[in-house]
Structure 1
Amino acid sequence: MRPEEMVADLVSALDLERIEENLFRGRNTGEGFRRLFGGQVIAQALVAASRTVADDRPPHSLHAYFMREGDHSVPVVYQVERDRDGKSFSTRRVIAIQHGRPIFNLAASFQVEEKGLEHQFDMPDVPGPEALISDMEWRRQSADQIPEAALARFLQERPIEFRRVDPSLPGSGARPPQQNIWFKAIAPVPDDAALHRCMLAYASDMTLLSTSERPHNIAWWDEAMQIASLDHALWFHAPFRVDDWLLYVQDSPRSSGARGFNRGLIYDRSGVLVASVTQEGLIRKRDL
């Protein structure tokens, strides 16, 4: 599939079908094998919530929990609760449903745009994306080191391109719980700020959990490991375009209790901090 077709397919998947008041249905993207990709569910739930809020109130934060593994073979239904519309803020809750059971829930807050006090952490000094190898090229070069059962997923083409400052292969040695990764859509995205936010939500679930795996020399294809996202939180700080390079600065301050805690700061090319992310994930060693 050509880059333009892959991005168009993702844009189409984020254009949910309205099946009743506060009820939407979304088809699944090509990302994921058997189980749903969490970023898709986050992004579609944010679309569903946004469809019930006035256009002059963009989302500023969302908090979500993954409750059950999603089924890639059937669509997801999103039920929205309109909790409150105040003078400045609106709040929504969304439940994602498959086979009659909730698999995910999300709470989102929306705010009218206004001026206020500003400060931010500076963007780290790292090589630009033009100096780095593309993720797909790196994956193809590393393919002979990947188990056959995981190879198709490892080489899967995606509508988001990544370029890693440290393109180290999972399981190739313990590393600090930090990584810096540039990313962007692989083709132009329509000029719709809401769509760019939802596509960033989609991409924000990629690579983050692996930060907590790095010190433990874990590979996601290791059958002795059970790895899954447990929750996800995202804050939007400033406008951006997801089809221009964004730097995802990630760290993992702590892992314990079979869970890894991860943080991410997302900067645009000019150094503006446009979004922040946190996620906790299951990194459990299983007895085989």
Structure 2
Amino acid sequence: MGDSNQAEHEQISTSLEVEQLDVNLFRSKSLWLPVRARGVFGGQVISQALVSATNCVNPAFGLHSLHCYFLLSASPSTPIIYHVDRVRQGRSYATLAVKAVQSGHTVFVLMCSFQKPEPWQPFHQWPMPSVPPPEDCELEETRFIKLIASPATTPTIKEYYQDALAERTRSPIAIKRANKHDSATDGTVAYMYWMQTRDSPKYEAPFQKCILSYISDLNFISSASKIMGLKRFGKGPNTVSMTSTLDHTIYFYSDDFDCGDWLLHVIVSPRTGSGRGVVHGRMYTRDGTLVAVTSQEGVVRANIRGPSAPKLDAKL
């Protein structure tokens, strides 16, 4: 497990756990509200919905893709109910839909597809970028400690990093930057992070995919604002006023990976505009196997006011 932080932290199994209420009905047991977030962490909602769906599918079928939309911010104070709909069961593929409801409102919807594996088919993959191994990269907690200690850090920013440090220490996921950013000759910028679950056993493939779905939402849409050069702190048009996930997609191409070992998430953002941004990602094992392809669109707003809406004529 390398040099993961050994302080008290939540177990990933606790974060993903759901209670089965009926054949196709499940309820969250814990919900996490990140620091300064508008609602429950999206990766947790995705993964809990997937755990619910996986409990409703023939185990001969393995998850190969998911597509989901975040409709409303979920509160951490009220359990989320997951309704699973077994849409279609075929010979090679099965499709399920999950609707997440909180206080009578649908906050999230998920479509996921399961396949009987066909390992005899030919394959190809993009190679993993050349990055330092996780053992040579520093934990996010270490980086936050350095920023807090820096005399250049203002009191307001120091308070943010102190909250971020406490949150990272409690997290079931360890994160290391594999690089600050990587710019290709064509101007493409990529952010890359090593991630792993802390102190977790080697779970079976179905649960590993649920864990990867949780991990995939960390530092994802925020990469779009970083690539645009928007700053987290301060005022003016070069600062971020809001980021929030709209939709999320994952395609799985392996059943042989362990989130308890380091996974590399390579993130690029091909386009931003109109208050939105899209990011694409590739998740590799440390030996270079591409196990999942990710994509997400989200609200990415700079601190810029748009034109005022015209007043409506009272006679209309």
Q: Same fold (TM over 0.5)?
A: yes
Q: How many residues align?
A: 280
**Contact between 2:71 and 2:108, CA under 8 Å: does it hold in 1?**
yes
Question: Once superposed, what is the RMSD of the aligned Cα atoms?
Answer: 2.2
Deviation of the 1:27 alpha carbon: 2.1
The one-letter amino acid of 2:112's match is: A
The one-letter amino acid of 2:129's match is: P
The alignment partner of 1:6 has SS state of coil
Q: 2:299 aligns with which of 267, 282, 285?
A: 282
Q: 2:201 aligns with which of 166, 180, 189?
A: 189
The one-letter amino acid of 1:209's match is: I
Residue deviations 1:221-261 (CA, integer Å, cap 9, x gap)? 66761110111000111121000111111100110111111
Q: 1:132 aligns with which of 137, 153, 168?
A: 137
In the alignment, the residues of structure 1 paired with residue 102 and residue 158 of structure 2 have an alpha-carbon distance, to the nearest angstrom, of 31
TM-score (norm 2): 0.82
Is 1:154 paired with 2:164? yes
The alignment partner of 1:28 has SS state of coil
Map residues 62-81 of structure 1 onto 2, 5 A cutoff: 62-81=66-85
In the alignment, the residues of structure 1 paired with residue 304 and residue 88 of structure 2 have an alpha-carbon distance, to the nearest angstrom, of 47
The alignment partner of 1:109 has SS state of strand
In the alignment, the residues of structure 1 paired with residue 288 and residue 28 of structure 2 have an alpha-carbon distance, to the nearest angstrom, of 34
**Contact between 1:7 and 1:187, CA under 8 Å: does it hold in 2?**
no
- Tell me which residue corresponds to 2:106: 102
Q: 1:6 aligns with which of 1, 6, 9?
A: 9
Is 1:142 paired with 2:147? yes
Deviation of the 1:18 alpha carbon: 0.7
In the alignment, the residues of structure 1 paired with residue 62 and residue 147 of structure 2 have an alpha-carbon distance, to the nearest angstrom, of 41
Map residues 32-47 of structure 1 onto 2, 5 A cutoff: 32-33=34-35, 35-47=39-51
Q: 2:177 aligns with which of 164, 170, 173?
A: 164
Is 1:114 paired with 2:130? no
Q: 1:190 to 1:272 in 2, by over 3 A?
A: closer
Gapped regions of structure 2 (runs ≥ 5): 182-186, 306-316
Deviation of the 1:148 alpha carbon: 5.6
In the alignment, the residues of structure 2 paired with residue 3 and residue 102 of structure 1 have an alpha-carbon distance, to the nearest angstrom, of 38
Residue deviations 1:17-71 (CA, integer Å, cap 9, x gap)? 1112211001224452462000000000111111110111110000010100110
Deviation of the 1:219 alpha carbon: 3.7
Q: 1:178 to 1:230 in 2, by over 3 A?
A: same
In the alignment, the residues of structure 2 paired with residue 187 and residue 31 of structure 1 have an alpha-carbon distance, to the nearest angstrom, of 22
In the alignment, the residues of structure 2 paired with residue 195 and residue 47 of structure 1 have an alpha-carbon distance, to the nearest angstrom, of 7
**Contact between 1:212 and 1:252, CA under 8 Å: does it hold in 2?**
yes
In the alignment, the residues of structure 1 paired with residue 163 and residue 211 of structure 2 have an alpha-carbon distance, to the nearest angstrom, of 21
Gapped regions of structure 1 (runs ≥ 5): 169-174
Larger radius of gyration, structure 1 or 2?
2
In the alignment, the residues of structure 2 paired with residue 230 and residue 149 of structure 1 have an alpha-carbon distance, to the nearest angstrom, of 29
**Contact between 1:74 and 1:98, CA under 8 Å: does it hold in 2?**
yes
Is 1:200 paired with 2:207? no
In the alignment, the residues of structure 1 paired with residue 118 and residue 125 of structure 2 have an alpha-carbon distance, to the nearest angstrom, of 17
Q: 1:222 to 1:74 in 2, by over 3 A?
A: farther
Residue deviations 1:86-128 (CA, integer Å, cap 9, x gap)? 0011000111111110111100000111121200001111111
The farther-off stretch of 216-225 and 237-246 is: 216-225
- Tell me which residue corresponds to 1:227: 243
In the alignment, the residues of structure 1 paired with residue 274 and residue 225 of structure 2 have an alpha-carbon distance, to the nearest angstrom, of 14
The farther-off stretch of 250-259 and 143-152 is: 143-152
